[in-house]
Structure 1
Amino acid sequence: MTRQARGSGPVAIGTTSVEARADAGNVGEEPEDAGPRAQPSQLRRRLGRADLRAVPEARRALRELLRHWGKPGRSEIAELLTSELVTNALVHTDREALLTATVGPDGLRVEVRDFVAGRPRPRVPAAQDGTHGRGLLLVQSLASAWGVLPHGVGKSVWFELDAEAA
């Protein structure tokens, strides 16, 4: 189950689309009547096959989307977790992926969909692994919720962050 803004379709590789209410200003700005009924803002980005340059680009796009979101430190956590999911999709598959980030009244949901079978699982990395193998452990530790949704072809790895959590 995913939450998406209506009318959001795929965008060309390397481009970003951000959807918000028609009366909203720039990316990340809240509409004047923002509140519990405010519609979500959304970022969608296609990630090129094995193109690790997409990781900092995804972080920058997410940072722009989250400019005025959440308590201090929440957007930085979102950037870190998004980087982990994007990196995993690009390193562990040989296909493109799709990043979707949706900001709504309840918080943020980020999904990275790939088109390869196989379910990722957190693992305890061996000491000799250095900094490798810790991405899903970070997601598991820092996200309000996370999971894997199977699709007909591939899966989405997702996490949610509450904007107001400490």
Structure 2
Amino acid sequence: MSTTRPQLPDDRPGQGGSGAPGGVSAPGGRQTRRLTLVGESGVVPMARDFARQALRAWGWLPAEGADRKAATEDVLLVVSELVTNACLHAEGPEELVLVTDGKTLRIEVADLGAGEPEPRRPHQAGRPGGHGMFIVQRLSVDWGVARAEGVPGKRVWAEVAAPA
């Protein structure tokens, strides 16, 4: 499922007290981590490492059990795909935001691109390239695009269920 909607003022995660560097904790157990990617090189491995550190801080790692391991790998793959898509189709990512409430983990990648990400249809598994958004769609509970009125760019987001 894909959803495009405007970004509301309270829609941005992280409106709360300070937490660890790059992170914010909000009331109700919601935790946010942000990584600025503007002007950086090697952003895909940097984003994966950042996500891995957040997962460790939030107790997803070390992954004990098949469900936790699968959820962790899904998050890292979705992060890689969203950041890679911003590199290939939107002049590079601006920011990676990870938000968890204990039930889901939301991954957001901000970029200045005007285009809409969409899984290639029909999906052809044997064809090289064009699998990124198909993978995101398959691994996510939901995904979409958020745009703020009057602000260039977008936030492509995906939500992955937390392991049981």
Pick the TM interval, shorter chain: 0.7 to 0.9
Aligned CA distance change for structure 1 residues 95 and 78 (closer, same or farther; 3 Å): closer
By how many angstroms is 1:150 displaced?
2.2
By how many angstroms is 1:164 displaced?
3.0
Aligned CA distance change for structure 1 residues 90 and 49 (closer, same or farther; 3 Å): farther
Alignment RMSD (CA, Å): 2.7
Give the Cα–Cα distance (whole angstroms) in 2 for the partners of residues 8 and 91 of structure 1.
Answer: 35
Greater fraction of residues in helix: 2
Aligned CA distance change for structure 1 residues 95 and 82 (closer, same or farther; 3 Å): closer
C-alpha contact (below 8 Å) 2:99/2:107 kept by paired residues: yes
Aligned to 1:148: 145
By how many angstroms is 1:72 displaced?
2.9
Give the TM-score normalised by the residue count of structure 2.
Answer: 0.74
Give the Cα–Cα distance (whole angstroms) in 2 for the partners of residues 81 and 113 of structure 1.
Answer: 14
Q: Does 1:54 align with 2:43?
A: yes
Q: Which runs of 5+ in 1 are unaligned?
A: 10-15, 22-36
Aligned to 1:98: 95
Aligned CA distance change for structure 1 residues 95 and 85 (closer, same or farther; 3 Å): closer
Give the TM-score normalised by the residue count of structure 1.
Answer: 0.73
Aligned CA distance change for structure 1 residues 49 and 41 (closer, same or farther; 3 Å): same
Aligned to 1:40: 30
Give the Cα–Cα distance (whole angstroms) in 2 for the partners of residues 50 and 71 of structure 1.
Answer: 31
Aligned CA distance change for structure 1 residues 160 and 74 (closer, same or farther; 3 Å): same
C-alpha contact (below 8 Å) 2:93/2:109 kept by paired residues: no
Give the Cα–Cα distance (whole angstroms) in 1 for the partners of residues 141 and 23 of structure 2.
Answer: 23
Alignment size in residue pairs: 142
Q: Which runs of 5+ in 2 are unaligned?
A: 1-6, 61-66
By how many angstroms is 1:6 displaced?
1.8
By how many angstroms is 1:66 displaced?
0.8
Instruction: Write the deviation string for residues 57-87 of structure 1: whole angstroms up to 9, x where unpaired.
Output: 1111111111212733211100000100001
The one of the two structures with greater contact order (alpha-carbon pairs below 8 A, sep at least 6) is 2
SS at match of 1:123: coil
Of 6, 14, 30, 2:15 maps to 6
